Amino acid sequence: MATLKTSNARDGEKTDLASLIAMARAQGAGENALPVETWNPEYCGEMDMVIRRDGSWWHEGTRITRAPLIKLFSSILRKDEDGHHYLVTPVEKIQITVECAAFQAIRVDVENSGNDQRLFFTTNMDEVVEAGPDRPLRVETDPKTLEPTPLIGVRGRLEAMLVRPVFYELVEHAVEVETPDGIQLGVYGGGEFFPLGPAGIHEV
């Protein structure tokens, strides 16, 4: 197994992928929600692991295809205030690369309508999250191409990107609302109104 880049590792120690898997399993990772936000481990360097925009996981250029292993890693994943993503245990903090979002939202279920509407998203990790004040829905719009990147909060600062069919389904439930910035197209969820882009974007 290849080792981490250890320019910042403590006392020259090295952690390989097998050791990280063992530590994750020791915490019960992959089974239940872990208190990763409360852990304060030392930074141990970077690992050549990438979550690509399409939701696939890669290690040293090789795609990780084992679903249980991906779920194991996802359960110890955290996004910090610096905007970077880390795999964390109580004693290790290892930076990885995330091209867009940690997860993908592959399904949406809509209940009720209007201000009472509720939106439930299922991620590619089989987690179900409801859009609302604690898990906001937001859309980043490319200023040049106007291509939308819709995202839903999952846990902590981690988000899931809505796959295109899910976003299109969400748009079917959108309404126009007058805001201080102008008329915005968006959806209600959990008592909140979530714009699906900048004001007037749907008229372009």
Give the pairing of strands 158-162 and 103-111. Answer: parallel
Per-residue pLDDT tens over the stretch 170-183 = 999 999 988 887 88
Under the banding of pLDDT at 50, 70 and 90, the label for residue 11 is: very low
- What percent of the chain clears pLDDT 90, i.e. is strictly above it? 67
Average pLDDT of span 80-108: 96
What's this model's pTM, rounded to 2 decimal places?
Answer: 0.85
Query: Which pair of structure tokens corresponds to residue 186?
Result: 């968006």
Which domains are seen in the chain, by residue range?
A: 10-98 (3.10.540.10), 103-196 (2.30.270.10)
